[in-house]
């Protein structure tokens, strides 16, 4: 789940790491990236993707982000102090520590991961219509039948 191949590709997502923030590096300010971003250091600012598509943020067990995260796929095994918005999926490793709300479509959480906030599931489509069993009626986002 957390290993890298020799080519720098993340095995779990198939996305290459385009940007690396090293363990002894501290970044103060917002980061906007595309592709893959791997954080071993400390980021004090928001982390966003410039395009929602295939962006992947991975945070190692020594990595830390203090700020809001808005990325398609997030792999956390370190610390995030702020809300996380994973538009596609989030994987929380055994040493993950998130202080803030986690918004996700798909989630994978290892034993030992910690979230101090709310887990908020986001449907694939906001106006998804669900048919009720045997009644032939439809239920919309407002919850009325």
Residue 9 lies in a domain: no
pLDDT tens-digit map of 80-126: 999 999 999 999 999 999 999 999 999 999 999 999 999 999 986 54
Q: What total of structural domains would you count in the chain?
A: 1
Confidence of residue 132 (pLDDT cuts 50, 70, 90): very low
- Inter-residue contact 64 to 79 (CB < 8 Å): yes
Partner residues linked to 33 by β-bridges = 49
Residue 54 lies in a domain: yes
Residue 68 lies in a domain: yes
Domain coverage including residue 85: 19-139
In the structure, how many helices (H) and strands (E) does the chain have? 0, 18
Torsion of CA 111, 105, 48, 65, to 10 degrees: -20
* Res 144 pLDDT > 70: no
Residue 62 lies in a domain: yes
Name which residue leads in pLDDT, 142 or 111. Answer: 111
pLDDT tens-digit map of 45-92: 999 998 656 899 999 999 999 999 999 999 999 999 999 999 999 999
Residue 29 lies in a domain: yes
Pairing between strand 138-139 and 130-131?
antiparallel
Name which residue leads in pLDDT, 34 or 123. Answer: 34
């Amino acid at each position: 789940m957390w290993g890298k191949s020799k080519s720098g590709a993340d095995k779990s997502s198939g996305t290459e790491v385009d940007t690396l923030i090293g363990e002894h590096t501290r970044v103060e300010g917002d980061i906007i990236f595309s592709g893959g971003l791997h954080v071993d250091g400390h980021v004090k600012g928001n982390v966003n993707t410039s395009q929602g598509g295939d962006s992947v943020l991975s945070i190692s067990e020594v990595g830390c982000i203090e700020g809001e995260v808005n990325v398609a796929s997030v792999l956390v095994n370190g610390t995030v102090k702020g809300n996380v918005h994973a538009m596609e999926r989030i994987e929380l490793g055994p040493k993950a520590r998130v202080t803030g709300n986690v918004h996700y479509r798909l989630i994978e959480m290892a034993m030992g991961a910690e979230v101090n906030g709310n887990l908020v599931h986001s449907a694939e489509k906001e106006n998804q219509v669900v048919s009720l069993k045997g009644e032939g009626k439809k239920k919309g986002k407002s919850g009325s039948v």
